[in-house]
A and B are shown apart, each in its own frame.
Chain A
Amino acid sequence: MSSGTFAAYRPILIAIAALAALPLAVPMLVSAGLFAGANTFYNLMIFILIITLAAQGWNIAGGYGGQFSFGHAAFFGTGAYAQAVLQTRYGVNAWAALPVAMALGGLVGAVIGLLAFRARLRGSYFALVTLAFAEVFRILANATPITGGAAGTLVPLRIGFGQMQFEAPAAFFYLALGFVAVVLLLNRLLERSRFGAWLVAVRENEDAARALGVDTLTVKLKAITLSAAVTAVAGALYTQKFLYVDANIAYGAWISVEALLAPIVGGIGTVFGPLIGAVALIGLGEAAKTLIHSAFGSAVPGVDLVVYGLLLIVVIAFAPRGLIGLLRAGGGR
């Protein structure tokens, strides 16, 4: 590994180390009154990491490749349901179910991608068709017996490493962090690869890329497959964390929106964008909820999402390259 290569990965390794060290700060954060307890901290962090992973998936096709999907719920949900159904109905071990969930998510991505890209859908049209696919999956999952229908699927609580259910909340935090870390490194690898360069070329000017001999259909297909597989893992982790899925969670529009908001707010088509965006969105959302709760004396639903929407508009208006773009511009180039 040349020193140049190491330099490219150094910020990622530092970030991973910093995140891994976070549990050390938990007693301090709790005593400072920022969190009600260690569990509150871990639940929030795990949720942020799961959203980060879903967003990292979106960022591969949407950020690097410029294919704005509004329906990543199709992949998240497939991962979530596969993880739940394989365990409850087919007795598959949780660790063995995870790669299957990932593969199934990737497969769904490949099929939707093949249909959409073969039909030359771009921009708004691609956004709409992905949205429609996610809705079809949601309606089907709500109506077919294998997914538990409208009642959803409950994964039985059986704590044990073999079941991927842990007594200590820190364990699941490290599991989720492990996946996020792998995708952070994978994205840097992608950025520095020939495939990554083709993908960016497709985003910048697809016709020009094709004219220069890039097989744009294959590039886009590979991107959406990888993108879907990563988001499917996020879905599978969601199932393992909450031990329950139903159609509105798994295939709901909320996850499609979170998966695309985080990279856009954080910095589209960048390695750290999804992570920074997820932290900012969920952090600010939680802060707004707490603030309103203490101001009105009771919880007001939707406040966090109002913040999400406003943040999205503000970022598009004033920081089109996301928070990461602001950091770079502010930190002297």
Chain B
Amino acid sequence: MFRSYPPQIVLEAVLNGLLTGAVYALVALGLTLVYGVLHIINFAHGAMLTLAMFAVLVAHLGFGIDPYLAILPLTPLFFAFGYGLQRFVISPASRNDDGAILLVTLGLSIVIENLLLAIFRSDTRSLTLDYSFSVVDLGFALLSLPRVIGFGVALVVAAALWAILALTDTGKAIRAVAKEKLGASLVGIDVNHIYAVTFGLGAATLAVAACLLMPSFYVNPRVGNAFVLVAFTVVVLGGMGSIAGALVGGLVIGVVESLSGLYLGESLGQIGIFLIFILVLLFRPTGLFGAKA
């Protein structure tokens, strides 16, 4: 069943896995941030990513904006979208009850995904850009340029997110709410505002991820599902709420996916991810970096 490959092909698979993994990490960052602060799993995360990817598509086809430049308008736009969604839909509809939040975000994901289906139909689309198929030659391996850029920007965004949390007042407030929301509200922090800011940050990272993905990936109304399951795995592996964990988890999952695709073939390749997901949940639900539950 296992074929053996020359080391160069395996190395290339590992490098490609790392490149994909960085974008997985970026998608997972938003999810883990929201979990860490609101202690909820945002089931609409995948649908919001799909929405962002369609936004990149429309920005390019409708307005001629390059996907990488689209980061500038889309990131604040999605921050506002996420903020509004949490503040005016999720929070009032769920009365901040955990089970209800899970279901409201599930409802949102169904609505977003199927609105996109109604508007754009189920066709799979992609962008053709001058640099879509450009490669970077490392001498021992050829890597796709858009994915190398994606890797770099994803790391920068992760660092920026970390800086926001570590260095700004808002970041301090977010960490305070994550630790002890009653205490935070007693010292004058507006918990609902912080919840919404966190959700907005999560949405903003998705906008960046979408801009990084579109030059080399395709979009259809269901594309987010594939990413969200991977993102859940990354988050669980890295430990719910841990930013460093999401980063490392994303890279690991990228490599696992790439290698299991190489050895098991396309259709069975994804199974490696889910098996890791299940095993981690069953045997180490706090993840590799998570604090005790």
> Which single member of A132, A139, A312 contacts B277 (CB below 8 Å)?
A132
Main secondary structure of the interface of B (DSSP, over half): helix
Within the complex, the shortest CB–CB distance from A295 to chain B, in Å, comes to: 12
> Number of A interface residues, CB 8 Å?
42
A124-141 CB mask vs B (1 if < 8 Å, else 0) is: 110111011101100110
Main secondary structure of the interface of A (DSSP, over half): helix
Q: Is the CB of B99 within 8 A of A123?
A: yes
Within the complex, the shortest CB–CB distance from A65 to chain B, in Å, comes to: 13
B102-124 CB mask vs A (1 if < 8 Å, else 0) is: 11101111110111111001100
A286-311 CB mask vs B (1 if < 8 Å, else 0) is: 00000000000000111101101111
Instruction: Kindly report which residue of chain B lies nearest to residue A123, judged by CB atoms.
Output: B98
Q: Is the CB of A257 within 8 A of B110?
A: yes
B84-113 CB mask vs A (1 if < 8 Å, else 0) is: 000001001110001110111011111101
> Which single member of A128, A132, A253, A309 contacts B107 (CB below 8 Å)?
A309
Is A317 at the interface (CB under 8 A from chain B)?
Answer: yes
Within the complex, the shortest CB–CB distance from A144 to chain B, in Å, comes to: 9
Is B160 at the interface (CB under 8 A from chain A)?
Answer: no
Distance between Cα atoms of A310 and B274 in the complex (Å) = 30
Q: Is the CB of A136 within 8 A of B271?
A: yes
Is B268 at the interface (CB under 8 A from chain A)?
Answer: yes
Is A264 at the interface (CB under 8 A from chain B)?
Answer: yes
Is B197 at the interface (CB under 8 A from chain A)?
Answer: no
> Which single member of A121, A135, A317, A320 contacts B285 (CB below 8 Å)?
A121
Q: Is the CB of A312 within 8 A of B106?
A: yes
Is B270 at the interface (CB under 8 A from chain A)?
Answer: yes
Distance between Cα atoms of A321 and B229 in the complex (Å) = 30
Q: What residues on A are CB-neighbors of B232 within 8 Å?
A: 128, 131-132
Q: What residues on B are CB-neighbors of A175 within 8 Å?
A: none
> Which single member of A139, A150, A309 contacts B270 (CB below 8 Å)?
A139
Q: What residues on B are CB-neighbors of A68 within 8 Å?
A: 99, 102
Q: Is the CB of A125 within 8 A of B281?
A: yes
Distance between Cα atoms of A140 and B270 in the complex (Å) = 10
Q: What residues on A are CB-neighbors of B93 within 8 Å?
A: 313, 316-317
Distance between Cα atoms of A143 and B93 in the complex (Å) = 41
Q: Is the CB of A301 within 8 A of B122?
A: yes
Q: What residues on A are CB-neighbors of B277 within 8 Å?
A: 128-129, 132
Beyond A308-B107, A313-B93, 5 additional contacts (C-beta under 8 Å) are A124-B98, A124-B102, A125-B285, A129-B282, A312-B104
